[in-house]
Amino acid sequence: MMDTNDIIIEYDVAKRKKILLLPIAIIAFSTIMLVIILNAERVKIYYLAMFALLILGSIYGIFVLVKSIFSTDQVGLKLTDKTIKFNGTLAGKTIGVVNLKDVESINTSVQYSTKQIYLKLKNPDQYIFQKSKIEMANHGFFINSTELKISFEELDKLLRDYLQKYGSLGIEQIRTI
């Protein structure tokens, strides 16, 4: 049931289609390399297998991406007055629903050339069984706007305002790195 305070941000299909270019480029490159390898005087099985696996992995990636693009569930981020759920990354999907009162602080940073919003959790132990210890090393998780119908700046402002209004954050816990 949708409350009037609930905010749902859907995936941007155009952004998700751009992501399809990567596996397509890998398939093209790997196919060229396979042709070169097969036309060589000595065929090295190691390289042949490596590029064949790259092609198969990319085909699987395309299948998964196309399936998610045409999925009926296009909710990337859902905010309620009590919880937050981010489906944009594997870590976000794995951790599931997070209580807003469990968010200790919010920071922005650049990770892997992508602007990210980091939510540090007060009680990461109750979520740690859902994620590996490596993912929870910093006791929180990242949110980004890479696939969402919202800009990073709008997402950052929305999350900060929402956490200040419904979470347990004061001004001192909301900062930019």
Average per-residue pLDDT for the chain: 80
Query: Average pLDDT for residues 154-159, to the nearest whole number?
Result: 90
Cα 101 to Cα 10: distance, rounded to the nearest angstrom: 24
Query: Average pLDDT for residues 131-143, to the nearest whole number?
Result: 62
Domain final position from 69, 99, 117: 69
CATH number at residue 156: 2.30.29
Q: How many CB atoms lie within 10 A of CB 132?
A: 10
Q: Which residues fall within 8 angstroms of residue 152, CB to CB, at 6 or more apart?
A: 115, 117, 144, 145
Q: In this structure, is residue 122 part of a structural domain?
A: yes
The predicted structure's pLDDT at residue 177: 44
Residue 99 has pLDDT above 50, yes or no: yes
Q: In this structure, is residue 4 part of a structural domain?
A: no
**148 and 110 belong to one structural domain:** yes
**37 and 102 belong to one structural domain:** no
**90 and 60 belong to one structural domain:** no
The predicted structure's pLDDT at residue 62: 92
**56 and 111 belong to one structural domain:** no
pLDDT: is 51 or 131 the higher one? 51
Residue 100 has pLDDT above 60, yes or no: yes
**63 and 87 belong to one structural domain:** no
Cα 58 to Cα 172: distance, rounded to the nearest angstrom: 45
Cα 94 to Cα 110: distance, rounded to the nearest angstrom: 22
The predicted structure's pLDDT at residue 50: 93
**131 and 54 belong to one structural domain:** no
Q: In this structure, is residue 101 part of a structural domain?
A: yes
**Total-model pTM:** 0.69
Q: Specify the amino acid at residue 59.
A: I
Domain that holds residue 26: 13-69
The predicted structure's pLDDT at residue 13: 84
pLDDT: is 128 or 145 the higher one? 145
Residue 27 has pLDDT above 90, yes or no: yes
**88 and 162 belong to one structural domain:** yes
**58 and 89 belong to one structural domain:** no
**114 and 53 belong to one structural domain:** no
Cα 174 to Cα 165: distance, rounded to the nearest angstrom: 12
Residue 104 has pLDDT above 50, yes or no: yes
The predicted structure's pLDDT at residue 77: 86
Q: In this structure, is residue 107 part of a structural domain?
A: yes
Q: In this structure, is residue 2 part of a structural domain?
A: no
Q: 10-24, 96-110, 118-132, 163-177 — which is least confidently predicted?
A: 163-177
Token pair for 156: 């950052």
Q: In this structure, is residue 75 part of a structural domain?
A: no
**65 and 19 belong to one structural domain:** yes
Query: Average pLDDT for residues 12-16, to the nearest whole number?
Result: 85
**92 and 167 belong to one structural domain:** yes
Q: Which tens digits make up the pLDDT trace of 38-97? A: 888 888 888 899 999 999 999 999 998 888 888 887 888 888 888 888 887 666 666 678
pLDDT: is 89 or 21 the higher one? 21
**157 and 90 belong to one structural domain:** yes
Helices (H) and strands (E) in the chain, counts: 6, 7
